[in-house]
Amino acid sequence: MGSKIDTKARRSGTPKGRPPSRAPANVKSDEPLYLQVVRALKDDIVSGVYPVGSQLPTEEELCERFAVSRYTVREALRRLREDNLVSSRQGAGTTVVPPRPADSFVHEVMSINDLVAFATGVRFAIDTIEMIEIDDKLAARTGIASGEHWLSVRGFRHTEGSELPVCWTEVYINREFAAVGRLLQRHRGPIFHLIEDLFGQSIVEVHQEIAAALISPALASGLKVKAGTTALEVQRTYKLATGKIAQVAINTHPASRFRHSMTMRRVRG
């Protein structure tokens, strides 16, 4: 199944002058075809092949590109509409739409590619960028060795059209890759992509932990909640193939504004 999509994705359905999309990574033969199409189109939207306001190819063109039935294409487009990535109108086609502002921020993670969607869909307003020495307290939080020097990047994340911040973000970047700091104020999207692009590295594993916490007085004003309000602290550790930690990110979300969605499927065997 995966080979069908890989072949057809390179033949048609890609806007002129833009590179063809890649087939979904690590596709398993028992994964429904419509989900393979969803993944491929999500990659295209996130990478800018189909920017906000542009139209996706017609159902007929998508059927030809992915070598699937019209029913499969319609199921894939339905899923993209449910994820608020596109809208469809009869006679007007399917259009890529901007992230929908809401009081509750829903973050769905199925793969590392979905972390790209998260970082692309929110704006990171950086407050500080500085080299710091990891103390014992921060070492306990992050798993980074105490006494090491890492680049610290901190600020609030926002969605377009919403007055309430999504979260407070702390990113700690391995000193070996600290040169990305000079690009961050102009950068939109995930920081780990900069590490990969600038240093020829590849993030192969992201370990995520979610823990309950209380919002400190120092963060309460910026997050527009009362001090002591319950929060969810989402920590992600980004690792290279060698096992080296390239980056640690900690996002502190007011609990009332955050819902985490994860899809699990039964694996045969």
Question: Mind listing the pLDDT tens digit for each residue in 22-74?
Answer: 444 344 456 788 889 998 999 888 888 998 889 999 999 999 999 999 999 99
pLDDT of residue 257: 83
DSSP string, 121-138: HSEEEEEEEEEEE--HHH
In a domain? residue 22: yes
pLDDT of residue 9: 41
The answer to whether residues 130 and 183 belong to one domain is yes
In a domain? residue 9: yes
CA 253/CA 169 separation, integer angstroms: 9
Tokens representing 5? 């999509």
The answer to whether residues 251 and 125 belong to one domain is yes
pLDDT digits (tens, 9 = 90+) for 197-220: 899 989 888 898 989 999 999 999
pLDDT of residue 186: 86
Domain count, the chain: 2
Q: Which residue, of 96, 115, 140, is where some domain finishes?
A: 96
Name the H helices within the chain.
Answer: 2-8, 33-47, 59-66, 70-82, 112-121, 136-142, 191-199, 217-223
User: What stretches in the chain show pLDDT beneath 50?
Assistant: 1-4, 6-28, 101-110, 112, 116-117, 119
Q: Which domain holds residue 170?
A: 105-262
Q: Which residue, of 38, 65, 96, is where some domain finishes?
A: 96
In a domain? residue 269: no
Sheet holding 203-214, edge to edge: 123-133, 149-158, 167-174, 245-254, 230-240, 203-214
pLDDT of residue 59: 92
In a domain? residue 268: no
Distance from the first to the final alpha carbon of the chain: 18
pLDDT of residue 28: 44
pLDDT of residue 256: 86
Instruction: For the full predicted model, state whether its pTM sits above 0.75.
Output: no
Tokens representing 4? 């069908």
The answer to whether residues 123 and 210 belong to one domain is yes
In a domain? residue 177: yes
**CA–CA distance from 144 to each of 56, 161, 269 (Å)?**
43, 36, 37
In a domain? residue 187: yes
At 175, the amino acid letter reads: R
Name beta bridge partners: 108.
Answer: 261
CA angle 225-209-22, nearest 5°?
105
DSSP string, 17-77: TSPPPPPPTT--TTS-HHHHHHHHHHHHHHHTSS-TTPBPPPHHHHHHHHT--HHHHHHHH
In the DSSP assignment, the letter for residue 243 is S
pLDDT of residue 82: 80
Q: Which residue, of 64, 96, 128, is where some domain finishes?
A: 96
